[in-house]
Amino acid sequence: MTSESRYQVCERVYAVGGDDITGGGDCCIYLVDCNSELLLIDAGVGRNTGRMMDLIGSLGFNPVSISTLILTHAHIDHIGGAKEVRDRTGCVVIAHRMDLDPIENGGSVTGSDLYGVRYDPVKVDRVIEGRSETFRCGDLDLLCIHTPGHTPGSISILIEVEGEKVLFGQDIHGPFFPELGSDLSLWRSSMHRLLELEADILCEGHFGVYYGKEEVRRYIEGYLTYYS
């Protein structure tokens, strides 16, 4: 197995971070090859950002080509490495307004104390305001969908590559802590919205990748049942 095939999710999408890849409590971090540019989805806790950058290089990409970093929500295991990624690459950072304050200013809702790390805030360059917005990165359109529930400003991202809909649905599984901004009622509505997309591939925030429309639906509906 080549290094590339081990980490490749599908055409143009790679898993470049996570507990079993970079360690340190990182969420699943995904890299998208947008031809002339690279897109990074989430940045992990921040303990092993250098390891992630080295992995990206080993896949044949120049990490400096990361032009866009999307932060799916304001928990430390997703945003902790954002400042270092920004400093290394000069990338544009995108997040939803409802999670803007903890991303830019820190605070207890990031959960940094639970991980025993100090959060280094990062400035958000492009703020998602509404239910959805479309951005262009290289030759790909990114549909960013507001999916509140896990946090007030949680977002999911949908792209289409080689005729397949790839959904980045970070932390669909929860967990839900009101003190960290969770709302189960909003989350249920968000999950029904994601089901309507009929994605072919789901890249989840901690439990990896799910292939096929039926498997994606089964995964989301399973958690809707679990939390009913």
Is the per-residue pLDDT at 200 higher than 70? yes
**Ordered domains of the chain (ranges, CATH):** 3-226 (3.60.15.10)
Q: Three-class SS string for the chain?
A: CCHHHHHEEECCEEEEECCCCCCCCCCCEEEEECCCCEEEECCCCCCCHHHHHHHHHHCCCCHHHEEEEECCCCCHHHHCCHHHHHHHHCCEEEEEHHHHHHHHHCCHHHCHHHHCCCCCCCCCCEEECCCEEEEEECCEEEEEEECCCCCCCCEEEEEEECCEEEEEECCCCCCCCHHHCCCHHHHHHHHHHHHCCCCCEEEECCCCEEECHHHHHHHHHHHHHHCC
Instruction: Classify strands 8-10 and 13-17 as parallel, antiparallel or unpaired.
Output: antiparallel
Task: State the pLDDT confidence band at 1, using cuts at 50, 70 and 90.
Answer: very low
Is the per-residue pLDDT at 175 higher than 80? yes
Query: What's the rounded mean pLDDT across residues 12-37?
Result: 96
Query: What's the rounded mean pLDDT across residues 5-16?
Result: 94
What is the per-residue pLDDT for 4? Answer: 66
Spatial contact of 168 and 72, defined as CB atoms under 8 Å apart: yes
Query: What's the rounded mean pLDDT across residues 171-189?
Result: 90
**CA atoms of 228 and 225, how far apart (whole Å):** 5
Q: Which residues contact 83 (CB under 8 A, 6 or more apart)?
A: 46, 120, 121, 122
What is the per-residue pLDDT for 180? Answer: 80
Query: What's the rounded mean pLDDT across residues 49-71?
Result: 97
Query: What's the rounded mean pLDDT across residues 45-60?
Result: 97
Is the per-residue pLDDT at 47 higher than 70? yes
Query: What's the rounded mean pLDDT across residues 34-42?
Result: 97
- The pTM score is 0.96
The two tokens of residue 103 are 């991303």
Q: pLDDT tens digit string along 113-147?
A: 999 999 999 999 999 999 999 999 999 999 999 99
